[in-house]
Every structure is written in C-alpha cells, then in structure tokens.
Amino acid sequence: MPLHETESLVLKSYNLAEADRIVVFFSREQGIVRGVAKGAKRLKSKFGSTLELFSTVNLTYFQKEERELVTIQQVEMVRSCFSSASDPEFLHTFSYIADLLMAFVPPHDPSETLYRMTRACLDAASESTDGLAAIRLYFELWLLRLGGYLPDWSRCDECERQLTNNEPASMRADFHLVCDNCRRTRRLSSVSPLQLEVFHSVQKVSPPKFIELTNTRTETVIELSAILRRIITQVVGRDLMNERTLAVNS
Ligand SMILES: [Zn+2]
C-alpha cells in the first residue's frame, strides 16, 4: 500500500459508522482526497482538533490501488482556523468555496496553483474577516480562470479590438463582451468601467492586496461576483451558492 504525505486543507467531514469520520481534503500534491479517519469521533482521538473545517494540515494516508477512499494515517496541524470559523460569514464563504472545489476538481487530480490560490485566500480571510466578499470574488474568478472558463474581457468579442479604460461595454448571454460599435441589440446588460477595472485587478494582485484595493468598492465586488456565479452555475450545472443558502436557512 503506497503511503502519501502532502499539505492539505480540510474541506468537509461527516460521520461514518460508530467512531469514524469521512474527511474530504484538498491537498497540494493529490488534489481532492477522501479518507476515513478511524476513531475520529472518540473523545481521545489521535486526530484531536486537526480535522476541524479549513484547518491547514500535513496529511499522511495509505491508498489501496483503485480505491477512491483512502485510510488516514496521521494529520498534523499547520494552521488552525478555529477562531475565524466561529464567524458565520466566514463559515458561509468558505463552505461555499469548499463546495466549489469539490464540484470543479476531480478526485486525485492535483493542481498546485489552485491549491496555493485557495490557501492564500484562506490565510487572508483568517487575518481579517472584513474582506470576505472580496475573497469570494477573488476565488471565483481564479477558479474560472484556472479551469479555462473565464471569458476574455480585455477585448470586444466581435471586432477583437482591445477595450480601453472607461469604455462602455455590453455582455452577451455567453458572458463575452462587445464594444458599443458592435452592439446590435439594446437588450444586453452593460459592464461598467469600474467593474472591468476590478475584474482585471483580481488577476494582478494577491488576496490581501485585493481586499485593500476594493475596500471602498464593495458594491462593484458584489455585482461582479453575481456575474461570475452565473458562469459557475452554467459550468457546474447547478447554483451552489443558492443550495448552500437554502441549506443554512432550513
Ligand atoms: Zn467591437
């Protein structure tokens, strides 16, 4: 049985049998990993508090050939999120992020860039929970970009001309932009220069810097997030944020 060791984020856990739990990790080297933590429900479990949601841990596990569910051998805490996770807004944002990762990333398909981006978002949000809307947008946009689903908003999709700053643009149903000269119908929704600026800045700066840049632009952040959610819903085939909100309220 091969033994693996990799840094991971704890995304989700649920009860199995009497004393065991199933834990879903997002790992740096193996992507999404689902494993059984034997005895994790016992009071004096060897796993202690390491399996709390959104902990950053060093995970060691065994994997039998062809079997998706691995056996968790050891989990060491790298960074706890315990204090932030008691904030309902933090919990809501990162549970949604965990759902997105589980929907987008196939099991055992590693993406180190996606891992590092997710970890950077988690670290920034743990420092201060004021920028959660910005972190959510940052994550959504990079998830789409790394998956190859992000539309190119730097140019008009019809005439392929580079859109300049402060130029009004309209969004087609396929989420691509057209300039004012190419727009054939009035029914397209418009994308403001401010929305475009925020869209481009996500792709240039780190999560803490992005929180700082957008702290007076919460409205724009929320508007853009709503557009990206529509793209995500189309890719995944269902609205994960809506499902989460319904689950929280029921
Ligand atoms: Zn054009």
One digit per residue, pLDDT tens: the chain, 250 residues?
A: 689 999 999 999 998 888 899 999 999 999 999 999 998 888 788 888 899 999 999 999 998 877 889 999 999 999 998 888 889 999 999 999 999 999 998 877 889 999 999 999 999 999 888 899 999 999 999 999 999 999 999 999 999 999 988 888 999 999 999 999 999 887 889 999 999 999 999 999 999 999 999 999 999 999 999 999 999 999 998 888 777 776 666 5
Question: Strand 31-37 relative to strand 69-79: parallel, antiparallel, unpaired?
Answer: parallel
Q: Would you give the distance in Å from CA 229 to the centre of its chain?
A: 12
The domain covering 1-82 belongs, at the CATH homologous superfamily level, to Nucleic acid-binding proteins (2.40.50.140)
The whole-number pLDDT of residue 121 equals: 97
| Ligand 1 centroid from CA 165, angstroms | 14
To 10 degrees, what angle do helices 112-127 and 88-104 make?
180
The domain covering 83-250 belongs, at the CATH homologous superfamily level, to Recombination protein O, C-terminal domain (1.20.1440.120)
| Ligand 1 centroid from CA 228, angstroms | 22
| Ligand 1 centroid from CA 146, angstroms | 26
**Closest to 158 measured CA to CA, from 141, 148, 171:** 171
Q: Domain-by-domain residue ranges, the chain?
A: 1-82, 83-250
| Ligand 1 centroid from CA 116, angstroms | 36
| Ligand 1 centroid from CA 192, angstroms | 16
Q: How many CB atoms lie within 10 A of CB 201?
A: 15
| Ligand 1 centroid from CA 178, angstroms | 5
| Ligand 1 centroid from CA 168, angstroms | 11
| Ligand 1 centroid from CA 203, angstroms | 23
The whole-number pLDDT of residue 250 equals: 55
**Token couple for 123:** 């670290």
Q: How many CB atoms lie within 10 A of CB 190?
A: 12
| Ligand 1 centroid from CA 171, angstroms | 12
Distance between CA atoms of residues 141 and 78, nearest Å: 27
